[in-house]
Structure 1
Amino acid sequence: MPLDLPYRATILTGLAWFKAMDFRFQISGQENVPRTGGAVLAINHISYLDFIMAGYGAHPSRRLVRFMAKRETFDHPVSGPLMRSYHHISVDRSEGVASYRNAVDYLRRGEVVGVFPEATISRSFEIKDLKSGAVRLAAEAEVPLIPLILWGSQRIMTKDHPKDFSRGKTIAVTVGDPLHPTGENAVAETAELKATMARLLDDTIAAYPAQEQPPGSWWLPARLGGSAPTPEQAKELDAAELRERAAKRAAKRTK
């Protein structure tokens, strides 16, 4: 196993930042992250800081999470060297099989692999449709699939809203009971994972300090009295974003 000195140094820096920001962590189910052996963490995606917060959820078990992240993060001149030094897993959509095999190898070597099965940040803060990769990884490597729910990180840094680094926010991390997919029906098992994550999300929101999410809050789902986009509206915003990106790429090619 790698010594992970850069990773461990970054964790210490992160812990110091948490203290400086006076974050109040509300963690439950942390005992569900195994202290040894491989496991897949299936994490909801609500902010740009979810890597950090989900990693903190595994900290009580003294586990380092190897996150699967898009290749562009590894290509970046600043984040790339860091991602490689942390032994995270590059996901190249054009070479998806290689990324998948790499993750299976990590799991079989006893690593904890972090996956965001929604693939992109949820603008509605609800659980989006999930990709089946998390289920298939856990089934093939014969390791537990552990749902992990984050709440509160979207208040700091997410899509369509200004950053807010004011102090004293509560960050909730809920780790669910392990699932044990067989891979025989990845579609059905992914649906089970989504239902489990949705239930855990509702439980996490219900336990979150009410004074920090008053009715009408932009970070609260519409069905719970917040002003976040509905899942249907969020899909339209996601589609518009994809169209805008495609137009920019096309414009670059014509220059």
Structure 2
Amino acid sequence: MAKTTQQRDLPRAYKFVVRVLRPLLLVLTKRDWTGVENLPGEGGFIACPNHLSHTDFVMFGHLMYDVGRPVLFLGKSSVFEYPVIGWIVRRAGQIPVYRGSSRAIDAYRAAVDAVRAGAAVAMYPEGTLTRDPDLWPMRGKTGAARVALETRCPVIPVAMWGPQELMMPYGRSVHLFPRKTMRIDVGTPVDLSDLYDAPDQRVAASEATDRIMAALTAQVAALRGHAAPPVRYDPAAHGMTEFGRPERKDG
């Protein structure tokens, strides 16, 4: 396939990952991609996928590369500290997230700068793998909404279903066979334009997050063919930790 400017201008490390993983994905998985026409052909934007497996970023990255808009991901900082993988993801231009530290703002600023430079940036609006027992999108965090409100860029919800069959959330084993179908539906942009000049941007970010999560949940429900729960799962309300492997706060 003819390469786009965005594909040609990728860092060498990103191109290396594509050369290694893409042929494997073509052989080991089946693809059911819909709505790709909703992705902007140029200019920066935020893609907001649901997060249900440690493998889903690879599947979404595959789609984005194949449609000519390679994507940058925000990932937890510990991944960047691994001896080999950390070296690769840093040089591939990915963005580390330093949770709960004074450097947490760095990821936000890096995402804003990347979007303004014309990049496609993927931000999981849930902030971590879903803790919902039935793998529905759970309560959202405001990170993606805040970047969207500052940059006034398009926000594209992306529903995924299938990566959890390769590896369940927080699972340790990968199940390749029989071949799994990676179902991805790219939605239309979430309209946040009325919130750009809101006097209280904290309230605006909360409202924007609700709109993003509502659009994303509706798409996931359509992919699954089931109605979503009326209330999104809130880990705090169930005494669960916010990040890392799910554990009850009371031990």
Pairwise same-fold verdict (TM > 0.5): yes
Q: Is the contact made by 1:70 and 1:92 (CA closer than 8 Å) also made in structure 2? A: yes
Alpha carbons 2:13, 2:89 under 8 Å: kept: no
Question: What is residue 180 of structure 2 aligned with on the other side?
Answer: 169
Give the structure 2 partner of residue 58 of structure 1.
64
Rounded Cα–Cα distance in structure 2 between residues aligned with 1:202 and 1:164: 24
Deviations 1:105-126 (A, max 9, x none): 1110001111111122114310
**Against the structure 1 CA distance between its residues 237 and 221, is the aligned structure 2 distance closer, same or farther, given a 3 Å change threshold?**
farther
The equivalences for 1:112-131 within 5 A come to: 112-123=120-131, 124=133, 125-131=135-141
2:16 alignment partner in structure 1 = 9
**In the aligned structure 2, how far is the partner of 1:35 from the partner of 1:144?**
12
Preserved CA contact (<8 Å) 1:138 1:180: no
Identity among equivalent positions (%) equals 28
1:111 and 2:119 are equivalent in the alignment: yes
Q: 1:1-255 counterparts in 2 under 5 A? A: 3-21=10-28, 23-93=29-99, 94=101, 95-123=103-131, 124=133, 125-159=135-169, 161=171, 162-181=173-192, 182-183=195-196, 184=198, 185-206=204-225, 231=233, 236=238, 238-239=240-241, 241=245, 243=247
1:45-100 Cα shifts (integer Å, max 9, x gaps): 00011111111232343011110111111111122111111101111121121221
The aligned amino acid for 2:157 is P
- Mapped to 1, the partners of 2:163 and 2:27 lie a distance apart of 16
Measured in 1, the distance between the counterparts of 2:74 and 2:130 equals 17
Deviation at 1:169, TM superposition (A): 1.1
In the alignment, the residues of structure 2 paired with residue 43 and residue 65 of structure 1 have an alpha-carbon distance, to the nearest angstrom, of 12
Retained in 2: the 8 A contact 1:67–1:89?
yes
> What's the offset of the Cα at 1:28?
0.5
Cα distance change of structure 1 residues 66 and 87 upon mapping to structure 2, 3 Å threshold: same
Which of the pair is proportionally richer in helix? 1
In structure 2, runs of 5+ residues without a counterpart are 1-5, 199-203
The answer to whether the 8 A contact 2:221-2:228 is kept is no
Q: Which amino acid aligns with 2:13?
A: P
Shift of the 188–232 alpha-carbon distance from structure 1 to 2, 3 Å rule, reads: closer
C-alpha change, 1:58 and 1:3, in structure 2 (3 Å) is closer
Q: Report the CA distance between 1:173 and its aligned residue.
A: 0.5
Q: Which runs of 4+ in 1 moved over 6 A?
A: 220-223, 232-235, 244-247
**Distance verdict in 2 for CA 1:169–1:27, change over 3 Å:** same
Q: CA RMSD in A?
A: 2.8
Q: Distance in 1 between matches of 2:185 and 2:31?
A: 10
Q: TM-score, normalised by structure 2?
A: 0.80
